[in-house]
Chains A and B, each alone.
Chain A
Amino acid sequence: MGGDALLAARLGAGDDHALTEVFDRLATAVYDGAVRVLGDQSAAQDVVQDVFVELWSRPGRYDPAAGPLRAYLVMRARHRAVDLIRSELRRVARQEHSYRLALQEPGPSPHEEVMVSEAAIAVRAALGMLPESQRRIVELAYFGGLTCREAAKAAGIPEGTAKSRLRLALARLETVLDRQLLEPS
């Protein structure tokens, strides 16, 4: 036994020296992978912590026969980063909904919320991969701060069509973000 299989066995045995070895060897790749998806160094540090805590607390999830430890950890970092983006998307969507319910209350626009979010860069990139008709309605509804009815009117389409396109666009956004996991580091 040697290499990653030995490291995996040592991690399973509770060998903290092995954990330190893995961190010193692979943390930079994990960090870089997270930064690439998130575009934010602070959030990427949280991802590095999540990935190594998971490796240490559930070492059996890594199977040396399935591939190198480096590839596994970078993949976990990307998964975690995309999870963060998804969660950010949902948070923004919830916030947008609450703005609609309290129109008279002044506050930061949904556009501002998204732009300051850690996920903004990745979301923008994913938006670019949507069909024009879907991207337009997402930009009007989320980045333009319009209600669905207002977005439909601005786009010159029925409100039902706008809602349908918005649903399709959000589903597609998640798929597009997932696909980033398959890209090489």
Chain B
Amino acid sequence: MTAATGRGPALPAGLRERVLAASLRSRAAGRPFPPAPQITGAEAFRRAADAFHGMLLTLSAADWATPALRDLDVQGLVGHLTGVEEDMHLALARDVRVATVSHVESTQPAADRQAGRTAAQTRAEWRRAAGRTIDLVRVSGDPSAEIAVHGMRMPLELLLVARAFELWVHDSDIRRAVGLPPAAPDASTLSLMTSSVAGMLPLAAALTGVSEPTSVHLVLTGPGGGTWDLLIGDGSPDAPATTIVVDAVGFCQLVGNRAAPDELDLYITGDSGRAARVLAAASALALD
């Protein structure tokens, strides 16, 4: 007996089901190959900090004065990151003063005080602050402990991934400003970033008012990628899943609000309108 499957002559009945089932037994759906070696959020943050410091060491004196983000030059942006680390130190000490403060306003004093300093002083201050964050996490950081900072409340493990994400986004800001080539995180760090962001996509959609029930088959390609089936909105979807395929790094740029959907090499099947609304919602996760 034979059964038709798609174009061409018929295949033996049951072969399609048998082959697909055997394939998925050999590797579960959603799991990328090759799998990125697993690391912790703390390790991802440490690697991101090392990469950021390495990039800073390549900058010329003129680069440090180049406008980079908002009204900040490169030196001011590094100062902003020093301020973020100082708020992290307080958050790790369970200081509630930094729980709900604005990410930008709270760190502005640290950015402002860089005026008149040398690049080396700014870089060294940031390096010390990031190193202190790493030390505090190592000494007392329970990965599952909830930490509240800058309006976010999440387990330390997830917060450190978000911090690695932030360092990479600002690393990219500086590279773009001074004309350095872009750099992607290593696959292990990127894998943590994409997993975290994919899991938070329904929340991002809710934050931006996307309420129509949508089933999304999200495929992030390249190192650090993977596949996720997400339910977005309220209730049961009334349409087949919308497939969104995009490069993992490009998707992170979108989430970091550093790329628009129309700047990415996207492959979409299903309801393109729903896909566009989900992609637009992704950047709601950005801190700036």
A residues in contact (CB < 8 Å) with B: 1-2, 6, 9-20, 23-25, 27-29, 31-32, 41, 45, 48-49, 52-53, 55-60
Contact = CB atoms under 8 A, between A and B. Distances in A.
B33 A58 contact: yes
21 contacts: A2-B267, A9-B222, A12-B221, A12-B225, A13-B225, A13-B245, A14-B30, A15-B217, A15-B227, A16-B30, A19-B23, A19-B24, A23-B16, A24-B16, A27-B11, A27-B15, A27-B19, A29-B8, A31-B11, A31-B12, A49-B19
B117 interface: no
A124 B15 CA distance: 28
Given A14-B33, A20-B20, 5 more contacts: A11-B33, A14-B28, A23-B16, A24-B5, A28-B5
B32 interface: yes
A29 B6 CA distance: 12
A120 B71 CA distance: 78
State the main secondary structure of chain B at its contact with A.
mixed
B191 to A, nearest CB: 11
Interface string B1-43: 0000111110110011011101110111111111000000000
A29 B9 CA distance: 9
B33 A12 contact: yes
Contacts of A17: 217, 219, 243
B26 A57 contact: yes
Given A13-B221, A14-B227, A56 B245 contact: no
A12 B243 CA distance: 16
State the main secondary structure of chain A at its contact with B.
helix
B227 A16 contact: yes
Contact of B29 (A16, A25, A45): A16
A12 B16 CA distance: 21
B282 interface: no
What are the nearest 10 A-B pairs in CB distance? A16-B29, A28-B8, A24-B6, A9-B221, A56-B23, A57-B26, A13-B225, A14-B227, A15-B219, A14-B31
A52 B11 contact: no
Contacts of B220: 13
B271 interface: no
A6 B245 contact: yes
B265 interface: yes
A38 B221 CA distance: 37
A33 to B, nearest CB: 12
A57 B23 contact: yes
Contacts of B227: 13-16
Contacts of A58: 33
B256 interface: no
B120 to A, nearest CB: 42
B46 to A, nearest CB: 27
B32 A28 contact: no
A56 to B, nearest CB: 4
Contacts of B8: 28-29
A122 B226 CA distance: 42
A45 B12 contact: yes
A52 B12 CA distance: 16
Nearest to B26: A57
Contacts of A6: 245, 267
A57 B33 contact: yes
B155 to A, nearest CB: 25
A119 B31 CA distance: 37
Contacts of A49: 15, 18-19, 22
A52 B265 contact: no
Contact of A60 (B34, B217, B225): B34
Contacts of A25: 6-7
A9 B267 CA distance: 12
A106 B95 CA distance: 89
A28 B12 CA distance: 10
B229 to A, nearest CB: 9
Contacts of B27: 14, 56-57
A56 B227 CA distance: 14
Contacts of B16: 23-24, 27
Nearest to B222: A9
Nearest to B6: A24
Given A10-B221, A12-B221, A24-B6, A53 B22 contact: yes
B32 A14 contact: yes
